[in-house]
Structure 1
Amino acid sequence: MVLTAEIEAVLRELEAHGASVDATATDREQKLLNLERPTAELLFLLVTASGRRRVLEIGTSNGYSAIWLARAMAKTAGDPIATIERDAAKAAQARENLRRACVQNYAQVIEGDATQCCAALDGPFDCVFFDADRISAPSQLELLLPKLTDDVLLIADNALSHPEEIAGYLAAVNALPRFDATLIPVGKGLHVAYRRPHTKGAVWQ
């Protein structure tokens, strides 16, 4: 991975801290539930290799995955990612961790309910990473559809760890035209869907 020493140090610290918090927290809301390192690395590769430049993340937590995405935007010369977190304390942690990793200029942390924030955002987005409440993800996807680029990349975590909760989102994506999708067995399961750009006059869409 193309990471600076500052980013690597912060990521390693957050990985250890997240594992400790998640192992001891009795309330799920207190857990950080960060991505596993292999999943984060794959997310970074998907975003950079496809040249994404307008990324939305739903579910910031303390900013672990946002650091990876912000670094990706630095590599692709993209706009700052928009990342949504409903918990004010976690949002504050995310801003601090992004600053410590020296990628704060490549991320905007938005506090609030994800569905309401999705309705208010302008877009366009060429990549959306769903990593929060899987039950409300279909509603968020519906709100975002008019704000997505033609060749949008949709990524969702927890496809294997929470199959019942994510079923509605997967069904919503599968019902959309021109989307190719796959489930990658990394971490808790990463679902990746890509919309083939519309080509006028093409026989196969």
Structure 2
Amino acid sequence: MLTPQLLEELNSLWEEGERHDAVTQERRERRLNITPDTGCFLYQLARTRGARHIVEIGTSNGFSTLWLALAARANQGKVTSLDILAEKQQQAASNLARFTLVDWVELVCCDALDWLAKAPLYSADLVFLDAERTLYPAYWPHLQRILAPGALLVMDNALSHPDECRPFMAEVLATPGYLAETYAIGKGQLVILKDC
């Protein structure tokens, strides 16, 4: 349950990330967190779907991971969060410990494409994409395979970075059996339902 105190703590962490990014020039060192309303949206989707296996591509410092982990805990599930940068996952591990959510998340430092290629069929109830957007089209065949029937895929930055997201969105919309809609929440959330 998202208590007022928990929401306040999450918002405080987000504000801390915003202050950090405002004075950090190097993109690799920035946190680039989702917005709190995006986090709440992800939590709602995961809870409503009853998602037990959630895959996150792009851990950063774990702000989005926290929202997904809260839903996974409520659903008696697990989050697998992938990032290629070990230092970002160390920050995420610290934040997960701060919110006592370590037991609900597996942090995997790897190339997401390699991990997706080996992931089991129909193994994900919800996938959250918030990484290098130009790589998403290469992920799509593997994402189709691992998404369970009725599963959701959410992509951040659909409205803030439309040019970078357009090739992936075009592939999704051209694939039979998938429904997609963009919501003006945070930086824009493309929500894809595997309707097959």
Structure 2 CA distance for aligned equivalents of residues 188 and 9 of structure 1: 21
Q: 1:168, CA displacement in angstroms?
A: 1.3
**More moved, 155-164 vs 115-124:** 115-124
Structure 2 CA distance for aligned equivalents of residues 4 and 66 of structure 1: 19
Unaligned 5+ residue runs, structure 1?
198-205
Structure 2 CA distance for aligned equivalents of residues 156 and 60 of structure 1: 13
Q: 1:89 is matched with which residue? A: 87
Q: 1:64 is matched with which residue? A: 63
Q: 1:116 is matched with which residue? A: 114
**Structure with max Cα Rg:** 1
Provide, for residues 10-61 of structure 1, a one-character-per-residue CA deviation record: whole Å limited to 9, x for no partner. Answer: 4233212210111111111111010111111111111111211111000000
Structure 1 CA distance for aligned equivalents of residues 25 and 42 of structure 2: 29
1:24 pairs with 2:23:
yes
Unaligned 5+ residue runs, structure 2?
none
| Equivalent pair of 2:11/2:36 in contact (CA under 8 Å) | no
Structure 1 CA distance for aligned equivalents of residues 45 and 155 of structure 2: 12
| Equivalent pair of 1:10/1:100 in contact (CA under 8 Å) | no
| Equivalent pair of 1:181/1:193 in contact (CA under 8 Å) | yes
- Compared CA separation, residues 9 and 99, structure 1 to 2 (3 A): farther
Structure 2 CA distance for aligned equivalents of residues 76 and 82 of structure 1: 14
Structure 1 CA distance for aligned equivalents of residues 137 and 154 of structure 2: 13
Q: 1:136 is matched with which residue? A: 135
SS at match of 1:105: helix
SS at match of 2:60: coil
Provide, for residues 52-82 of structure 1, a one-character-per-residue CA deviation record: whole Å limited to 9, x for no partner. Answer: 111100000000010110110111222x110
1:178 pairs with 2:177:
yes
Q: Supply the RMSD in Å over aligned alpha carbons.
A: 1.6
Q: Which residue identity does 1:184 align to in structure 2?
A: Y
**More moved, 30-39 vs 110-119:** 110-119
SS at match of 2:175: coil
SS at match of 2:148: strand
SS at match of 2:56: strand
Structure 2 CA distance for aligned equivalents of residues 108 and 57 of structure 1: 10
Q: TM-score, normalised by structure 1?
A: 0.89
Structure 2 CA distance for aligned equivalents of residues 67 and 3 of structure 1: 14
Q: TM-score, normalised by structure 2?
A: 0.93
Q: Which residue identity does 1:112 align to in structure 2?
A: C
Structure 2 CA distance for aligned equivalents of residues 125 and 24 of structure 1: 37
Provide, for residues 166-189 of structure 1, a one-character-per-residue CA deviation record: whole Å limited to 9, x for no partner. Answer: 111101211221222111011110
Q: 2:48 is matched with which residue? A: 49
